[in-house]
Amino acid sequence: MVRLRAPDGCPWDREQTQKSLLKYLLEESTEVIEAVQAGDQPHVCEELGDVLLQIVFHAQVAKEAGDFTIAEVIDGIAAKLVRRHPHVFGEGSAATPEAVSILWDQIKKEEKAQKGIVEKPKSVLDKVSRALSPLMRAQELQVKAAKVGFDWPTADGVLDKVREEITELEVEMKANHTEKFQAELGDLFFALVNLARHAGVEAELAMIGANAKFERRFRRVEELAGGGEAMKNKTLQQLDLFWDEVKREEGR
């Protein structure tokens, strides 16, 4: 990366900044998730390398600016892992994943206190980053609200809420109220994320999986139809038959 960023290196690599690289970090991370979900280990290995490249790239840009180096990144996370696992590297105790989570949060608070960082949030939701994707942010907002008791006691209540939102969505769709329909659609998405959370599912991962499945099946439909252009000459019923065939091929 040092060579690529050198004056006589690669023009594209030289002009990159941490901000310009963010989209690639997100893309590569998503591709790791898709590879893991597909159970394609050689692909997982390759995509992890691509993510590592992004980390090295960011660190090199920062080094050139005099901010930090890749060594500091690695040393920092290694020290944090030791510091936040006293039940492994020290005299602490945490026998369950839940206990580990509580201990982790406690140590984070102590670290901030030592740095003189006093957190006085106006709301429990203040800590939810606005940089998250809409699905991830929705789930994090719900998690924070649930921690102070604002939550459905069971998933059944959330499922009822989903049905309620679908009914309200249908009303606005039939009335052709675009703005109200959009609002109700957002409410439905939010309720579905809540349902995912209650089921112990990450909504973002579910959506990534659904996108990958649709893409895989659609590409196969294209193949069966003779290509994208040939699809234009097929009826929807014919394409549906191809879709059903693809599902049968996948055993679903």
Report the 3 state secondary structure along 161-199: HHHHHHHHHHHHHHCCCHHHHHHHHHHHHHHHHHHHHHC
Residue 236 covered by a domain: yes
> Domain of 26?
2-83
Regarding whether 78 and 143 lie in a shared domain, the answer is no
Query: Which domain-ending residue is among 62, 83, 104?
Result: 83
Q: Which of 81-85, 104-108, 217-221 comes out lowest in average pLDDT? A: 104-108
CA gap 30, 208 in Å, rounded: 8
pLDDT of residue 105: 86
pLDDT of residue 119: 65
Regarding whether 69 and 158 lie in a shared domain, the answer is no
Residue 107 covered by a domain: no
- Which two tokens mark 22? 């963010």
pLDDT of residue 124: 87
Instruction: Give mean pLDDT, residues 118-143.
Output: 87
Is 70 exceeded by the pLDDT of residue 249? yes
CA gap 200, 194 in Å, rounded: 10
DSSP state of 140: H
Residue keyed to tokens 């679908």: 166
Regarding whether 158 and 60 lie in a shared domain, the answer is no
- Which two tokens mark 69? 């180096």
pLDDT of residue 130: 87
Is 80 exceeded by the pLDDT of residue 224? yes
Residue 167 covered by a domain: yes
Is 70 exceeded by the pLDDT of residue 184? yes
Residue 118 covered by a domain: no
The better pLDDT of the pair 110, 241 is held by 241
Regarding whether 238 and 148 lie in a shared domain, the answer is yes
Task: With CA atoms as reference, report the closest residue to 25 among 59, 1, 69.
Answer: 59
- Which two tokens mark 240? 């549906």
Is 70 exceeded by the pLDDT of residue 216? yes
Cβ contact 100:94 at 8 Å: yes
Residue 88 covered by a domain: no
Count of domains observed in the chain: 2
Q: Which of 5-9, 119-123, 126-130, 172-176 comes out lowest in average pLDDT? A: 119-123
Instruction: Give mean pLDDT, residues 150-169.
Output: 96
Regarding whether 236 and 167 lie in a shared domain, the answer is yes
Regarding whether 241 and 140 lie in a shared domain, the answer is yes
pLDDT in tens, 109-122: 888 888 887 666 68
Q: What is the CATH number of the domain that holds 70?
A: 1.10.287.1080
Is 80 exceeded by the pLDDT of residue 160? yes
- The residue type of 169 is L
Instruction: Give mean pLDDT, residues 135-142.
Output: 95
Residue 108 covered by a domain: no
As a whole-number percent, the residues of the chain with pLDDT over 70 amount to 98
Regarding whether 152 and 78 lie in a shared domain, the answer is no
Regarding whether 240 and 171 lie in a shared domain, the answer is yes
